[in-house]
């Protein structure tokens, strides 16, 4: 029998809410239709932002939003997206589907969206095809309060007060779509560009994010850090960064050329996805160990600002739009990945699943005025209590190992945290597609507890559609028994349970 021992007296780090962050790119129907429908749309909106979507994201407690890309960021020229909409430049979105980008969603709209969501802002700058001046002027435009050419321009465009940029990314995937650079070359560019990401406000400084590796590319991490930490640099410069990004996508199929369907898969496809998702743990350890050499105090966050499942697009949709469905398999991938992030909260300070709406592993899908929540949404919703909580030491033993091809997968996986008011949250995932397991949960203090629980469960390829929007949804779970401070339950196959213990 599996046994989970929770040590209530041993906290292991703070879970930054931003670990539960999201990513929105000018890609397919993420920004246009998904988030922004324009002010005169028949779809209910506030200043162009869809009310249904904003409400759902607030309910999920979205902590931070990254924008405008992705690959799009290194082709984005921010001045095209300000001023009267009728004068804004139209361009072709060459990366994503070759469609017309009319720039009607730009800087002002992004901050308006984040205002409505009540979330932090993560703006990604352009290093690949932009100049230092362009980047520095953007920061001035967004954050300078006084008299200056860019602050004046912002005011002329209708926004008197400066905005708060919480995080600023200096380029994106500069080893690939962001300029095909070598790590040494990018490292030097990073040092130069970040110099002009000025801090104009009294509030906390902008957190600067340096472009990090693609998955397991430790050479990139080593060389970029070597370059950024090399002298000449002031003692306290700390590599000139607050965070180093890392991107890792789970591609369940054979290869990038044959990724496999989001909804039509066998148990092999199920375990392949979970086996690859669990690899996130190795990646964090690998890059974390290199970071430790430069930053043993863990001041620099590992920022996993793109992660999630990448399947073939839905049949009949534009291949450049990356629109995919979302099943219980995606839910389990999200659940195990978020548990991994929680357990590495000493180093992982932010993460953004790709992408928010209608692209890759989304939490919401829309079709015109209709909107559905995906199984992945429900995981983020169930896990929201971990945000801003303290990680508790937990030890799960007696767990079966499932062997599927090259993958050895633990049948159960968990993370545990405690909130300021003392409520403990346990998120427990059963990765088996076929078998339920009894689990006993022991807490340090043997006292009577109040327990409530939610479950997300279903067949492995169960998913929500516009015809059946609630096929997969959170339900109350009544199967927790308590005796002398010990809890026991049976977790069904293919499910995630969130326990709230007080
Ligand atoms: O999320 C889709 C794309 O994946 C992003 O634009 C890019 O950064 C990554 O390769």
Span 58-112, pLDDT tens digits: 999 999 999 999 999 999 999 999 999 999 999 999 899 999 999 999 999 999 9
Q: Residues 6 or more apart from 62 whose CB is under 8 A from it?
A: 20, 21, 22, 117, 119
The residue whose C-alpha atom lies closest to atom 9 belonging to ligand 1 is 70
Tell me the best of 23, 34, 71 to mutate to test the pocket of ligand 1, counting ligand atoms within 8 Å of each CB and taking the most. 71
Span 307-337, pLDDT tens digits = 999 999 999 999 999 999 999 999 999 999 9
| Cα dist from 113 to 51, 78, 95, 135, whole Å | 11, 17, 24, 22
The residue whose C-alpha atom lies closest to atom 2 belonging to ligand 1 is 70
Predicted confidence (pLDDT) at residue 372 exceeds the cutoff of 90: yes
What pLDDT score was predicted for residue 445?
Answer: 87
Indicate whether 470 belongs to any domain.
no
**Residue 290: band (very low, low, confident or very high) from pLDDT cuts 50, 70, 90:** very high
Show the domain range for 85: 17-248+300-388
The residue whose C-alpha atom lies closest to atom 8 belonging to ligand 1 is 70
Span 181-193, pLDDT tens digits = 999 999 999 999 9
What pLDDT score was predicted for residue 265?
Answer: 97
What pLDDT score was predicted for residue 423?
Answer: 98
**Residue 173 CA, closest ligand 1 atom number:** 8
Ligand 1 near 69 CB (within 6 A): yes
| Average per-residue pLDDT for the chain | 97
What is the pLDDT averaged over residues 258-276? 97
Distance 250 CA to ligand 1 centre (A): 13
**Residue 216: band (very low, low, confident or very high) from pLDDT cuts 50, 70, 90:** very high
Give this prediction's pTM.
0.98
The residue whose C-alpha atom lies closest to atom 6 belonging to ligand 1 is 70
Ligand 1 near 212 CB (within 6 A): no
What is the pLDDT averaged over residues 347-359? 98
Distance 477 CA to ligand 1 centre (A): 37
CB 304 within 8 A of CB 281: no
Distance 402 CA to ligand 1 centre (A): 32
What pLDDT score was predicted for residue 8?
Answer: 95
What pLDDT score was predicted for residue 196?
Answer: 97
| Cα dist from 387 to 129, 232, 331, 349, whole Å | 36, 38, 18, 11
What pLDDT score was predicted for residue 201?
Answer: 78
| CATH number where 158 lies | 3.20.20.80
Predicted confidence (pLDDT) at residue 342 exceeds the cutoff of 90: yes
What pLDDT score was predicted for residue 493?
Answer: 98
- Which residue's structure tokens are 């990073």? 190
What is the pLDDT averaged over residues 462-466? 98
Ligand 1 near 71 CB (within 6 A): yes
Q: Beta partners for 287? A: none
Indicate whether 480 belongs to any domain.
no
The residue whose C-alpha atom lies closest to atom 5 belonging to ligand 1 is 70
How many structural domains are present in the chain?
A: 1
What is the pLDDT averaged over residues 114-137? 98
What pLDDT score was predicted for residue 319?
Answer: 96
173 labelled catalytic: yes
Indicate whether 500 belongs to any domain.
no
What pLDDT score was predicted for residue 365?
Answer: 98
Span 404-431, pLDDT tens digits = 999 999 999 999 999 999 999 999 999 9
Indicate whether 70 belongs to any domain.
yes
Catalytic residue from among 109, 137, 306, 414? 306
Distance 395 CA to ligand 1 centre (A): 35
**Residue 241: band (very low, low, confident or very high) from pLDDT cuts 50, 70, 90:** very high
CA proximity to 211, closest of 196, 193, 198: 193
Distance 35 CA to ligand 1 centre (A): 18
Predicted confidence (pLDDT) at residue 203 exceeds the cutoff of 80: no
- Which residue's structure tokens are 């690859």? 276
End-to-end CA gap in the chain: 24
Indicate whether 120 belongs to any domain.
yes
Catalytic residue from among 18, 25, 33, 173? 173
Dihedral angle sign, alpha carbons of residues 269, 273, 278, 284: positive
What is the pLDDT averaged over residues 146-154? 96
**Residue 446: band (very low, low, confident or very high) from pLDDT cuts 50, 70, 90:** confident
The residue whose C-alpha atom lies closest to atom 4 belonging to ligand 1 is 70
Tell me the best of 306, 322, 353 to mutate to test the pocket of ligand 1, counting ligand atoms within 8 Å of each CB and taking the most. 306
**Residue 484: band (very low, low, confident or very high) from pLDDT cuts 50, 70, 90:** confident
Indicate whether 457 belongs to any domain.
no
What is the pLDDT averaged over residues 167-172? 98
CB 214 within 8 A of CB 286: no
């Amino acid at each position: 029998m599996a046994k989970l021992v929770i040590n209530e007296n041993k906290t292991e780090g703070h879970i930054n809410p931003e670990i539960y962050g999201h990513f929105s790119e000018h890609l397919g129907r993420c920004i246009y239709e998904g988030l922004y429908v324009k002010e005169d749309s028949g779809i209910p909106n506030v200043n162009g932002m869809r009310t249904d979507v904003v409400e759902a994201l607030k309910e999920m407690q979205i902590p931070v939003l990254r924008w405008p890309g992705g690959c799009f960021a290194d082709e984005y020229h921010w001045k095209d997206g300000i001023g009267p909409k009728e004068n804004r430049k139209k361009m072709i979105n060459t990366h994503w589907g070759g469609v017309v980008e009319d720039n009607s969603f730009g800087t002002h709209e992004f901050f308006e969206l984040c205002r409505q969501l009540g979330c932090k802002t993560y703006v990604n700058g352009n290093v690949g095809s932009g100049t230092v001046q362009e980047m520095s002027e953007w920061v001035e435009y967004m954050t300078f309060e006084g008299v200056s050419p860019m602050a004046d321009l912002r005011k002329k465009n209708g926004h008197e007060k400066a905005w708060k940029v919480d995080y600023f990314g200096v380029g994106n995937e500069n080893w690939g779509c962001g300029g095909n650079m070598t790590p040494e070359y990018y490292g030097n560019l990073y040092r130069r560009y970040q110099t002009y990401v000025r801090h104009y406000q009294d509030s906390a400084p902008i957190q600067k994010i340096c472009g990090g590796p693609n998955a397991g590319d430790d050479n990139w991490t080593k060389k970029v850090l070597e370059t950024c930490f090399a002298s000449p640099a002031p003692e306290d410069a700390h590599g000139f960064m607050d965070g180093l990004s890392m991107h890792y996508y789970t591609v369940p199929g054979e290869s990038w050329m044959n990724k496999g369907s989001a909804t039509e898969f066998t148990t092999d496809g199920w375990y392949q996805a979970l086996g690859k998702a669990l690899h996130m743990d190795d990646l964090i350890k690998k890059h974390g160990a290199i970071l430790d050499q430069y930053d043993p105090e863990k001041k620099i966050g590992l920022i996993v600002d793109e992660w999630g499942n990448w399947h073939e697009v839905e049949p009949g949709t534009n291949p450049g739009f990356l629109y995919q469905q979302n099943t219980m398999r995606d839910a389990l991938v999200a659940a195990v990945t978020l548990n991994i992030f929680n357990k590495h909260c000493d180093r992982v300070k932010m993460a953004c699943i790709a992408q928010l709406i209608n692209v890759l592993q989304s939490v919401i899908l829309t079709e015109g005025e209709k909107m559905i929540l995906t199984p992945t949404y429900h995981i983020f919703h169930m896990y929201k209590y971990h945000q801003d909580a303290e990680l508790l030491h937990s030890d799960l033993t007696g767990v079966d190992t499932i062997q599927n091809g090259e993958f050895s997968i633990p049948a159960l996986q968990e993370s545990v945290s405690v909130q300021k008011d003392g409520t403990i949250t346990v998120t427990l995932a059963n990765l088996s597609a076929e078998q339920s397991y009894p689990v006993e949960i022991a807490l340090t203090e043997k006292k009577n507890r109040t327990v409530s629980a939610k479950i997300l469960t279903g067949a492995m390829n169960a998913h929500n559609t516009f015809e059946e929007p609630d096929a997969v949804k959170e339900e109350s779970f009544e199967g927790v028994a308590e005796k002398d401070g010990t809890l026991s339950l049976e977790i069904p196959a293919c499910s995630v349970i969130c326990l709230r213990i007080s």
